[in-house]
Amino acid sequence: MRQLGLSLVELMVAIAIASFIALAATSYYAAMFSASNAVRNTASAQADFNAVANTLVAEIRRSGYRGSPTEVAAYVATTGNSSGAPTLGSYPAVEIATGCALVAYARDYTCASGDDSNFTECAAGVGTATSLHYRSGLRLTSGVIEAVSVIHPNQYIGSAPVDSSCTATGGTSAWAPLSETTELYFDRFTITEQASTIYDGDTACVLGTAGTDCEANVYADCGDSISCRIKRVYKLEVCAYPTNTDALCDPNYGGSVPSGQLYNEFFVTPRNDVLISKDYSS
């Protein structure tokens, strides 16, 4: 009697082949998923890193903006006396501390209810159009980049309602996290002044250099106009990686570079050169 179908051996062979194919397909899918996830994580980390770096560069570029011409006299950021080094004014364009950078600039502001008791510029009441000085910046705290953007504390008649200093902590701190250590651990964030040139805007002469129409004295000759200026170049260094461990950054990419390290250096000049005003009382 003839029987149709598969024998037990044939069935077992077919199952084995099907299992092998299914295992291969599953392994391939898992590998592709893992690779896709790695690419996605890398792209996300790169985007977070670029966001922080580009934000800082943009802030440095706009530092020192003085708003309307009537604000220039109130926003002279550096005062040089006849005896030597300048002193920072009430609204320094750039302030640098360890792991922290603050910049100041002026922008238009429309006075609201209650602002007459906060700012002298709003004494005329609600709706007054004026310019106020703002402070923004970035700082590194335990692997997290934090950001701040508030009206400059020196702009208030009394005390500012929040603390925007580099050392601000607790409930009065105006700082807020810009990154998360679960995504990217920022190990290094530095800003240093690389170069500083003092020049006369009327003649384009570098001060302290003798020559036709050039003034020989650096600070003593600044004050005949508001044209004496300081042009500065800043170096920014940012380093981050996925590992939640401190002090692993290797700018030279030697043998100890953590996996996924992102590192970059930027050189940036503020668009607005810092003005110098001579202190005639010195």
Percentage of the chain exceeding pLDDT 70: 71
Give the residue extent of every domain in the chain: 40-279
pLDDT in tens, 193-241: 998 887 777 666 776 665 555 555 555 555 555 567 788 899 999 999 9
**What pTM does this model have?**
0.77
3-state secondary structure the chain: CCCCCCCHHHHHHHHHHHHHHHHHHHHHHHHHHHHHHHHHHHHHHHHHHHHHHHHHHHHHHHCCCCCCHHHCHHHCCEEEECCCCEEECCCCCEEEECCEEEEEEEEEEECCCCHHHCCHHHCCCCCCEEEEEEEEEEEEECCEEEEEEEECHHHCCCCCCCECCCCCCHHHECCEECCCCCCCEEEEEEEEEEEEEEEECCCCEECCCCECCECCCCCCCCCCCCCEEEEEEEEEEEEEECCCCCCCCCCCCCCCCCCCCEEEEEEECCCCCEEEEEECCC
**Residue 126 vs residue 107, higher pLDDT:** 126
Q: Which of 61 and 217 is assigned the larger pLDDT?
A: 61
Q: Across the chain, what does the average pLDDT equal?
A: 79
Among 54-68, 106-120, 161-175, 204-218, which stretch is predicted with the lowest mean pLDDT?
Answer: 204-218
